[in-house]
Every structure is written in structure tokens, then in C-alpha cells.
């Protein structure tokens, strides 16, 4: 899209000059990072709002709980979907770098509503630890499924149908989606002062930092070492999401593997994958390595997310909205810092660094 806006030519005639022009002074990284930055900033606001309007199960019966879950979460989710719908259409018709940047920021605002509220709603609905773990595995699988099909869906439709079609189809889909959600400031900072909460958030941050850099710059790396078709730029990051999806569906069903061990192994595998990925120069090799990296991300995510809810149950009075705001903030911070810093490092020192 940056190449089209700046009339730089097509990827079929890609060269080192083209990749340098696309990522001029790290601007490609800034564009990718802007959505995560906006989402990171808005997540505390969303988490506080949800906690403020959450219900106490000690004061209402099951009917009132169900009633509030059905109607009390509707307004913020409608607002989030509406902003996401508008920004998706705007992205299709953005004609300058500044316009692309502004629409990415709006997408971050909308995503902060949908991501935080989704996990908080699962935590509030499923109270038994095993049941909650399975439900969150499915929830994380749903998130990863969007990432699985996104790059391939976007690059294939972009090349064979048109640059605006992926966004218009997605906008039409958003119109069919209505979700629900509902959380005080002091409670939010109370969670932030809990070292156990911060340790869990730190694990999630580290893995998503890995993935944010790979998702943003592996297509650029492929352009640098090969002359790929446009559809390959989406496919090269697909295994990351496939591995994530498989891990999120499989590991919650294996209770014999402790969560701490699952998280430790996921971090270790990611280190090995990153070392190898820095020196892989073939399309096939990238596919293999990113498969294991996605598996590592799924292992850590499925281990850490239920621990968030468990810690809140033990110590913080079921402030699920706030704790999953912190959870998603760690993801967004990684998605913000990875491309932001990575764009400059790739531009100045190369992909290996």
C-alpha cells in the first residue's frame, strides 16, 4: 500500500531500493506500531469503565446477572464495532501516509474495546478453573484465527481482486457482528501494583514482542532476499498464526502439563526460533521456523491468561475487566514497541539485529 501511494512500482519488480523506500527512516514500522500504541493507551480507560459498571454476584441473582450481561455490555461494544467499521473503510481509501496512520490509530481505539471486553466476559462467565481455561483457549483461538487468515486473505485479495476489496469485505462482515461488554481507577492501579500480575503480563509481553517483529518485518525480509509474489508476503507469516491456533486448542486440554512449565517451554522455544530466523534466507525455511514460533506463543498465552483470572479470584475481588485490560496492554505494548523500534533497527542495521 505504501508502494502504491508513493507510486514506487509493484512487488513483482521488487528490489532493495523498493524495500528501503517503503521503510524509509523506519516509517513502515511506525505505521504498524501506531495501532498497538493507540490500543495500549486506551486499554486502561476501557478496563476502568468495565469495572465501574460490572455487577456483584453477591447483590444480584442469576437472572439479573444474565440480564446485565445481555444488555449492560452492548453500548461499548457497539461503539467499538462502529469505530472499527469506519476506520476499516477509511483505510481502503486512504491516499497518503498520514491518512493511513490516522486510520490505524482509530483501529487501535476500537480494538481496545473488543479485546479487553471479550476476555473479561469469559472470565466473568466461566468460574471453574478448568472450564475457564478451556473457554479461554477457545477465545484465544478465535483471536488467533483472525491473525491466521488475515495476512493471506489480505495479500491474495489485494493482488487478484483489488487493493480496496479486503477492507470493504471486512467492513461488511463487521456490520454483522454485535458483541457485549461492560469496569474504578483505584482498582486498576491496585492490580498494577501486584508483582504476580506484572510477572504474568511480562511473559505475555515478551512472546508478543517476538511475534510483532516477525509479523511486521518478515515480509520485508523476504523482499530483501528474494523476489516473491505479493501473495507470498502474507503466506510467510501464516505459520506463526497456525502454530498459535493449534497450541491454543491443544494445550488447555492437557492438564498434566503445569502452566508454569508450559510458559517456560514457550519462552525457550521462542529464543531458539528467533536465533534461527535471523539467518534463514529461504521462503520454506521461514515457514518452518515461524510455525514453531507460533506454537511457542500459543503455549505461553494459554498458560498465562487463566492465571490472570486465578490471581484476581484469590486477591482482587473478580476485577476481570481491569486485569484483562492489563493483559491486552502487554500485548499492545509489544505490538507497539516491536515495529516502532524494529523499523529503525532494520533500516539502519539489518534484519538480523
If pLDDT is split at 50, 70 and 90, which confidence band does 288 have?
very high
Range with the largest mean pLDDT of 18-32, 123-137, 152-166, 187-201: 152-166
Mutual orientation of helices 283-315 and 97-125 as an angle, nearest 10°? Answer: 50
**What is the domain count for the chain?**
1
Neighbours of 351 (CB within 10 A): 19
Please report which confidence band the pLDDT of residue 237 belongs to, taking 50, 70 and 90 as the band edges. Answer: confident
Which of 20-29, 175-184, 242-251, 318-327 comes out lowest in average pLDDT?
175-184
For the stretch 318-347, pLDDT in tens is: 667 777 888 888 888 888 888 888 888 888
Asked if 117 contacts 73 with a C-beta cutoff of 8 angstroms, the reply is: yes
* Alpha carbons 261 and 258: distance in angstroms, whole number: 5
* Total residue length of the chain: 353
CATH code of the domain in which 314 resides: 1.20.1250.20
Q: Whole-angstrom Cα distance, residue 118 to residue 50? A: 11
pLDDT band at 61 (very low <50, low <70, confident <90, very high): very low
Q: Among 82, 242, 95, 108, which Cα is nearest to 171's?
A: 82
Query: pTM for the full model?
Result: 0.56
- What is the extent of the structural domain holding 109? 1-349
| 10 Ramachandran zone, left/alpha/beta (phi>0; psi -120 to 50) | beta
Amino acid at each position: 500500500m505504501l508502494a502504491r501511494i508513493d507510486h514506487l512500482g509493484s512487488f513483482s519488480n521488487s528490489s532493495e531500493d523498493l524495500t528501503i523506500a517503503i521503510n524509509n527512516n523506519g516509517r513502515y514500522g511506525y505505521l504498524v506500531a501506531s495501532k498497538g500504541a493507540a490500543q495500549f493507551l486506551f486499554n486502561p480507560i476501557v478496563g476502568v469503565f468495565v469495572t465501574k459498571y460490572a455487577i456483584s454476584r453477591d447483590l444480584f441473582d442469576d437472572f439479573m446477572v444474565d440480564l446485565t450481561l445481555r444488555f449492560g455490555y452492548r453500548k461499548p461494544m457497539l461503539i467499538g464495532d462502529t469505530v472499527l467499521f469506519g476506520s476499516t473503510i477509511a483505510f481502503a481509501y486512504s491516499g497518503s501516509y498520514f491518512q493511513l496512520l490516522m486510520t490505524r490509530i482509530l483501529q487501535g481505539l476500537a480494538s481496545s474495546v473488543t479485546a479487553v471486553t471479550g476476555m473479561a466476559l469469559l472470565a466473568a462467565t466461566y468460574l471453574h478453573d478448568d472450564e475457564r481455561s478451556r473457554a479461554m483457549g477457545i477465545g484465544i483461538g478465535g483471536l488467533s484465527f483472525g491473525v491466521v487468515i488475515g495476512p493471506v486473505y489480505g495479500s491474495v485479495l489485494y493482488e487478484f481482486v483489488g487493493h480496496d476489496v479486503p477492507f470493504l469485505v471486512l467492513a461488511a462482515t463487521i456490520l454483522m457482528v454485535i458483541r457485549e461488554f461492560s469496569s474504578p481507577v483505584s482498582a486498576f492501579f491496585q492490580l498494577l501494583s501486584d508483582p504476580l500480575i506484572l510477572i504474568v503480563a511480562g511473559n505475555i509481553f515478551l512472546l508478543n514482542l517476538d511475534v510483532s517483529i516477525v509479523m511486521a518485518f518478515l515480509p520485508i525480509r523476504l523482499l530483501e532476499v528474494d523476489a516473491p509474489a505479493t501473495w507470498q508476503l502474507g503466506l510467510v507469516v501464516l505459520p506463526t498464526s497456525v502454530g498459535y491456533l493449534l497450541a491454543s486448542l491443544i494445550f488447555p486440554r492437557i492438564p498434566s502439563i503445569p502452566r508454569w512449565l508450559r510458559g517456560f517451554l514457550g519462552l525457550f522455544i521462542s529464543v531458539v526460533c528467533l536465533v534461527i530466523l535471523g539467518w534463514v534466507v529461504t521462503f520454506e525455511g521461514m515457514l518452518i521456523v515461524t510455525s514453531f514460533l507460533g506454537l511457542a506463543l500459543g503455549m505461553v498465552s494459554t498458560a498465562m491468561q487463566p492465571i490472570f483470572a486465578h490471581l484476581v479470584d484469590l486477591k482482587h475481588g473478580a476485577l476481570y475487566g481491569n486485569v484483562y485490560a492489563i493483559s491486552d496492554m502487554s500485548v499492545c505494548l509489544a505490538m507497539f514497541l516491536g515495529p516502532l523500534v524494529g523499523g529503525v533497527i532494520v533500516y539502519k542495521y539489518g534484519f538480523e539485529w
